[in-house]
Amino acid sequence: MEIYIYSLIFLGYLVLGFLSREREGIGSRKMARYLYMILKKLERKKRRLNFFEGSGIRRDIALLYPFGRTKEEEEQFYVERIRLVLLILFAGTVLAAASYIAAGENLLLAEGRKLVREEIGGEDRSTELEAYLLTKAPESGETEEEPFVYQGSYRLEVRARKYSEEQAGKMAREAFAALPVRILGENKSLDEVRSPLNLPSQIEDMPFRITWESSNYALIDSDGKVGNLGMEEGARRQVSLTAVLTYDNGTAAGLRYEEEYEVTVLPPVLAEQDRLTAELREAIERADENSVSGEVLPLPRELEERGIVWREKPEDPGLAVLLFTILLAFLAAAAMGSRLHEKAVQRERQMMLDHPRVISKFVLYLGAGLSVRSTFFKIGEEYERKKEEGLKKRYVYEEILFVCRELKSGVPEEEVYARFGQRCRSRQYMRMSTLLAQNLRKGNQALLSVMQQEAQASFEERRNTARKLGEEAETKLLLPMITMLAITMLMIIIPAYYSFAA
């Protein structure tokens, strides 16, 4: 299933590259622009589709690029965003497909019926197998392509080839007294055993390695599995279960302790599917025990005169990688929009902080006898001179330069001042542009009085803004301060605790 998903994604990239006539490779701007145009056409045809209109991207771009470049900058932003998403998705798909291929090369199933073990000293490995029952016995000549029925999935631990280990033991009496209760599992007592026993290989706080021996491994094996599927209803079987506690005390033989427990095995009640699954698992475990010293683990070939087909299921992390890639692409696209919005917020904040200076310059030049038109030119000339000296870009002065260009091109002053306020998109500048437009015929004296009042109000707003920014900075510093306090408290408390405990 996974390989089909990866193939469809790669096919989609190839089709997109062919349609866009792209030769530069995956994730180029040409391919991204082609996909952008397709989405725009779909958005125009289907009014319910809203790929680009619903976000605040257009508003932020209009704030940052007000000089007639809004459409071009918006297209460039979305093309870059789509290009980034395509690159991330393609890289993630390649990584997921590579993970799938790598998982398939590390399979343990050989010749369809054997699981290859690691050499002596190697590590135990696990695999997942799927069993399929054929309609006839394997001697009938049926092949895997003929009809079969899915039986179940089996997670198997393929142990490495090992030598038997010597073990030693101590505190045997306490361990033997605790074991009858610890090994019950879901059974009520050792006199009524229907489900697997919990046979531990060690006990906490005790230096034992525990092995288990059974008088009848068909009924109870060393792992606690109960083979009571074939028992008749009402039957009772006695099994002697021996716990061998060993402890390596540095000698060649070590210490060994044994205790025998009498266990009564009763038949279970299972559905047909559960019974077949349990029998097949029991057959696998018997084959595992019988071939632990061999190079392979031979899998059962039939169950109740029905052939078995084994197929190994690779552990493929590719889908997880693909999902992570999709999430990463989504976060990257969201981050681009967040950064753009942050630039717009910084622009608004900068223009609000510059407003008192602009008003003050207007009051100064108007009071000196300059007209509103000459004041704009004077402020624009000063800004261009300071830019040549290394002053960074200030958005409100860029707007003033645009006003100067409009005035030089012959646009009526009233219309120019109205556009100035609309482009700034700030309450203070819109009020300023309204005052400039309304007082064109009243003369500088009436406008100067109004501007002086506006200057006082703007300085008060700037003080409030500075106070608000200071409070926000204090709030952002609160978390680091709390973290430093917690670290300091730990540095004091931990040494004091250990000194007290000592």
Let me know whether 46 and 12 are in one domain.
yes
391: in domain: no
231: in domain: yes
Let me know whether 298 and 320 are in one domain.
no
366: in domain: no
pLDDT tens, position by position, for the chain (502 residues)? 566 676 777 677 777 766 666 555 565 677 888 788 888 777 777 666 666 665 677 777 776 776 666 777 778 888 888 888 888 888 888 888 777 777 666 666 766 677 777 765 567 777 777 777 776 665 555 555 556 677 778 787 777 654 334 434 457 778 888 888 888 888 888 888 878 888 888 877 776 778 888 888 888 888 888 887 767 777 888 888 888 887 655 455 656 778 888 888 887 766 666 667 777 888 888 888 888 888 888 888 887 778 888 887 777 777 788 888 888 888 888 888 888 888 888 888 888 888 888 888 888 888 888 888 888 898 889 888 888 888 888 888 888 888 898 888 888 888 888 888 888 877 788 888 888 877 776 655 567 777 777 777 777 777 777 777 677 777 777 788 888 888 888 888 888 777 776 5
Q: What is the DSSP string of 46-87?
A: -TT--SSSSSSHHHHHHHH--SS-HHHHHHHHHHHHHHHHHH
3-class DSSP assignment, residue 23: coil
Let me know whether 218 and 307 are in one domain.
no
Residue 262 CB-density burial (10 A; 0-12 exposed, 13-18 middle, 19+ buried): exposed
Full residue range of the structural domain in which residue 256 is found: 164-266
CA 163 – CA 486 distance, rounded (Å): 52
Let me know whether 300 and 157 are in one domain.
yes
Let me know whether 194 and 226 are in one domain.
yes
386: in domain: no
Let me know whether 85 and 122 are in one domain.
no
Let me know whether 297 and 158 are in one domain.
yes
Let me know whether 134 and 155 are in one domain.
yes
144: in domain: yes
- Written as one letter, the residue type at 202 is Q
Q: What is the DSSP string of 101-138?
A: HHHHHT--EETTTEEEPPPTT---EEEEEEEEEESS-G
466: in domain: no
179: in domain: yes
Let me know whether 128 and 206 are in one domain.
no
Quote the pTM value.
0.44
Q: Looking at the 3D structure of the chain, how many domains does it have?
A: 3
483: in domain: no
- Written as one letter, the residue type at 91 is A
